[in-house]
Amino acid sequence: MQTVQFANTEARVSEMCLGTMMFGGRCDEAESDRVLGAALDQGVTFIDTAAMYGNGLTEEILGRIMRGRRDRLFLATKVHKGVDAASILSSIDESLARLQTSYVDLYLIHWPVQGMRPRAMMEALAQVVAQGKARYVGCCNYPAWLLAHSNAIAAENGWPKLVCNQIAYNIVERGVEVEILPQAVAEQIAITAYRPLAQGLLTGKYRWGQPLPENTRGQTSAQIITWLSQYGESVDRFIHFAEERGISPVQLATAWVRHSPAVTSPIVGVSSLSQLQASIDAFSYDLSDVDYAAVTAIFDTEVKEEGLQRFPGLKYNFPRLRRNLALLGE
């Protein structure tokens, strides 16, 4: 597993980030222990968790199974409850107690909420860093303007900036290509991409017109069922494309996310040791530009913005221009 630069910090992380949302749920503690051990053995050191997973249970399990391994990990967790200063300051203490560690490497706001106060939030995050409880701070699911606004406040006050935006990104969910990914490249924000397999939709086990496979998230996820009804034919063609190349759909879905120069680390969710191995193997397969374009064309998921007019003398129309990672020169 290769390591990658984490934003403009001094840290390097494994390219694969291990998502732990299933620890304590579909993945019991003993299996979670085996997954973490195997991940570490193969160089996966970047771990993502959150206080809200299992209502604290996931962090508790991590606290137990990380014993003796904590120093080898780059550990991210997220604020629970509210996003006001008091919640940010108490939530980190509760997470550290459950995780049995004195610090996390990355502390993230989990979701923007209505009525949030970025100045108070950035000040509270700065306090968390000053107290040595987090090395870096970041956010999840932030629109580009909010990240820029928050970081402008941080710069004015000499507070740590948000260095990471954790967002959903896969061949079905592509809205972040319009503003968030170009911003990340321009401002050296780390992008950690969750749901790279679209919750399992892109693993080959879901087929339109066939019964949902037993013992999968598809049986309870309305999202997977909606996607399947919307993109069933595309999913079939995606699986066929992978078969033609002699790779697994997991490899293809992961390679598609990794192909973006804006993505630092895909966050892969696993429910078992065998799934972990398939995902680790996926990181050794790269898509050519030609195959990337071909597989992208299977899904009609490109985000169209307002105004499809072409400006005279410009090669691209307006939405394409905004999505184009090559827009900025050196």
Ligand X SMILES: NC(=O)c1ccc[n+]([C@@H]2O[C@H](COP(=O)([O-])OP(=O)(O)OC[C@H]3O[C@@H](n4cnc5c(N)ncnc54)[C@H](OP(=O)(O)O)[C@@H]3O)[C@@H](O)[C@H]2O)c1
> Site residues (CB under 6 A) for ligand X?
19-22, 26, 48, 110, 140-141, 166, 194-200, 203, 205, 216-217, 250, 267-271, 275, 278-279
Count the helix, strand and coil residues of the chain and give each as a percent rounded to the nearest 5.
Answer: 45, 15, 40
> Nearer to ligand X by C-beta: 201 or 290?
201
Q: Using DSSP bridges, classify how beta strands 46-48 and 74-78 pair: parallel, antiparallel or unpaired.
A: parallel
Q: How far is the CB of 116 from ligand X (least distance, A)?
A: 15
> Nearer to ligand X by C-beta: 38 or 320?
38
For the record, the structure tokens of 285 come out as 């397969």
> Nearer to ligand X by C-beta: 122 or 201?
201
DSSP 8-state secondary structure symbol assigned to residue 294? H
Q: How far is the CB of 129 from ligand X (least distance, A)?
A: 20
Question: What distance in Å separates the CA atoms of residue 199 and residue 24, rounded to the nearest whole number?
Answer: 17
> Nearer to ligand X by C-beta: 58 or 101?
58
> Nearer to ligand X by C-beta: 151 or 203?
203
Q: How far is the CB of 269 from ligand X (least distance, A)?
A: 2
Q: Please name the residues in contact with 30: beta carbons below 8 A apart, sequence gap of 6 or more.
A: none
Q: At what angle do helices 249-258 and 289-296 cross, to 10 degrees?
A: 110
Q: Please name the residues in contact with 55: beta carbons below 8 A apart, sequence gap of 6 or more.
A: none
> Nearer to ligand X by C-beta: 6 or 289?
6
Q: How far is the CB of 23 from ligand X (least distance, A)?
A: 8
Q: Which residue is nearest to ligand X (CB)?
A: 269
Q: How far is the CB of 193 from ligand X (least distance, A)?
A: 9
> Shortest CA distance to 247 belongs to which of 302, 291, 311?
291
Please give the C-alpha separations between residue 57 and each of 2, 29, 37, 106, 127, in angstroms, as whole numbers.
30, 10, 19, 19, 26
Q: How far is the CB of 248 from ligand X (least distance, A)?
A: 7
Contact 101, 75 (CB under 8 A): yes
- Dihedral of CA atoms 163, 178, 19, 148 in degrees, nearest 10, equals 20
Contact 121, 109 (CB under 8 A): yes
Q: How far is the CB of 313 from ligand X (least distance, A)?
A: 41
> Nearer to ligand X by C-beta: 195 or 258?
195
Question: What distance in Å separates the CA atoms of residue 180 and residue 189, rounded to the nearest whole number?
Answer: 10
> Nearer to ligand X by C-beta: 4 or 317?
4
Contact 24, 61 (CB under 8 A): yes
For the record, the structure tokens of 247 come out as 């790779």
Q: How far is the CB of 168 from ligand X (least distance, A)?
A: 7
